[in-house]
Structure 1
């Protein structure tokens, strides 16, 4: 009888365990480490990579600090170039990097040498300012072979993987030329100051050629221009000679200057000659340019430009995108802003840092900014 009772109890326990197991299976409960088919397996597989991606992302952000960046400039003439370089430096420092600037002083072969030097010295990234394909291509391809990212500004480059920034040069020329035509009533005699051999100048010339077709009654009576270590002074001397060649009021309606250094030189010559009937329309903007634009006695009355500091900042951002491991577009066009004297205050002098208060869209560009960059603060 005792044996029978023990057997009955054992069968009862086994039956209870079996029922409990069936209930557990029906509810879909699994123990740690167990995998199941369907949605639960999918969740397990997608969660781990997401966490790994987040960890890798944090590692990349940390790795950006301490990068050595080379800026290779064809020239560093005038306040525009200086403010551009300041913008690059500001952004590189924001990311905790170290900037070294190489200036080729318009020597194309020296510029090529500097790019090669940056590669040989194992800089982490290279920025270029102006230059020609002949001067830059070989060194840039060598940089790519060494996994050194490159971002160029104002160069006619077409190298896959190299991001090239430009200012929207045709648009800048159109903005100033259309204002000139409107102020002149669609007719008159003008002087063009321009120089070949630079990517932005070639694009601006394209717009100028279209302007000539559109306004046949606006005649070009003189054209000159050269880039040198003293561009503004050389332009001033040449403009003085042209004023003597056309001494009467009405001989010259306006001057179109395709570079701010040209506009500065021409404006000084016109002002000193007392030819206040001649107006100057320029391209580019710096603090020095803005002072002349605000001066009611200056013939320079309008310009189109991108904040030079913004150009430097945006260029550096695209380089750091590459250093972060992101793919960037090969061509980036910066949107220019039209600035004329009538937009500016008459009771105080303003700087380019304050210009955005009076001209919508000036400075503070967020182009090239990424969400992860918010981790880096400006000094």
Structure 2
């Protein structure tokens, strides 16, 4: 009975916190404010939803969004950042991209006296980065993978975007987990995921690797820091007819989540994020800052690990919309 009472009290507390957060968001305003939004690209489901969450919330709060999509081109994003600086908005939100390329331009935003906020870009130049807890995501997904492997076997790893901060964190956390499981090995050389043609490229790469390692047990798992390449990787495993090879990714893209939810698919787990909520929260943090509120360096929006075992209870919100 004590346990049930404790759970009820905890649920009440969470509901109260959620209501308070909602009420606080409703009281915020960006009326008369111009907010710049720069994103490296929106061709990926996660990127598009986070981007849209920012724009929608800025408008809902009465502000004007100056939203620019760089179409996956670093130089275009630099040019667009220069454009935003020249327009002197009340704040700028930057989403994803190559941190090595971005850093000097993020510094220019700060030097111009424009408050900088980021989405999934960890940098000391930003007042706040709204994101998932990628340290937890990386470790949790890796532990699920190792558990499914029984603590031994070989892993094919895609590592094409280590310069993107969230991918670096997830990869480093995966590697850290593996230091405690010496019988789990990463097959070298690592694979490189690409943009565009991500699914097709990953499918081709995995088809080649399964041909190179033809025996059951040669490959036990396939990992990437996001889940679009895992759609192609899963298709390659299915077409090969290989058993015992499972795929793992991050984001909760509808296509890969549907594979994880399919009991007959090799897709084993996905760390599903809430990109629209992340974008929306970033815009709210801008409003809070401009209203004089103190904002922490990071705002973490919860993610959920969807597995074969819990998909019936967790996958619904992330599945393709009918």
- 1:376 alignment counterpart: none
- 2:242 alignment counterpart: 275
**1:192–1:257: 8 Å Cα contact kept in structure 2?**
yes
Alignment equivalent of 2:76, drawn from 110, 128, 131 = 110
- 2:192 alignment counterpart: 225
Matched, 1:65 2:28: no
1:324-346: CA deviation from partner (whole Å, max 9, x where unpaired)? 22232223344432111322339
- Alpha-carbon offset, residue 145 of structure 1: 4.8
**2:28–2:61: 8 Å Cα contact kept in structure 1?**
no
Q: Distance in 2 between matches of 1:109 and 1:220?
A: 34
1:55-109: CA deviation from partner (whole Å, max 9, x where unpaired)? xxxxxx7972243322211222321212222222232222122333322233333
- 1:36 alignment counterpart: none
- 1:249 alignment counterpart: 216
Q: Normalised by the size of structure 2, how large is the TM-score? A: 0.81
- 1:192 alignment counterpart: 157
Q: Any unmatched runs of 5+ in structure 1?
A: 1-60, 356-379
Secondary structure of 1:342's aligned partner:
coil
**1:287–1:351: 8 Å Cα contact kept in structure 2?**
no
1:261-283: CA deviation from partner (whole Å, max 9, x where unpaired)? 12112111111222242111211
- 2:202 alignment counterpart: 235
Closer, same or farther: CA 186–247 of 1 in aligned 2, 3 Å: same
Q: Distance in 1 between matches of 2:247 and 2:229?
A: 10
Q: Distance in 1 between matches of 2:107 and 2:180?
A: 42
Q: Distance in 2 between matches of 1:354 and 1:226?
A: 23
Secondary structure of 2:187's aligned partner:
strand
Matched residue pairs, number? 292
**1:305–1:338: 8 Å Cα contact kept in structure 2?**
yes
1:313-360: CA deviation from partner (whole Å, max 9, x where unpaired)? 1111111112222232223344432111322339xx8343899xxxxx
Q: Normalised by the size of structure 1, how large is the TM-score? A: 0.70
Secondary structure of 1:288's aligned partner:
helix
Matched, 1:321 2:285: no
- 2:119 alignment counterpart: 153
Q: Distance in 2 between matches of 1:245 and 1:234?
A: 17
Moved more, 238-247 or 76-85: 76-85
Q: Distance in 2 between matches of 1:239 and 1:215?
A: 24
Matched, 1:166 2:131: yes
**1:87–1:311: 8 Å Cα contact kept in structure 2?**
yes
Closer, same or farther: CA 137–258 of 1 in aligned 2, 3 Å: closer
Q: Distance in 1 between matches of 2:255 and 2:66?
A: 25
- 2:277 alignment counterpart: 310
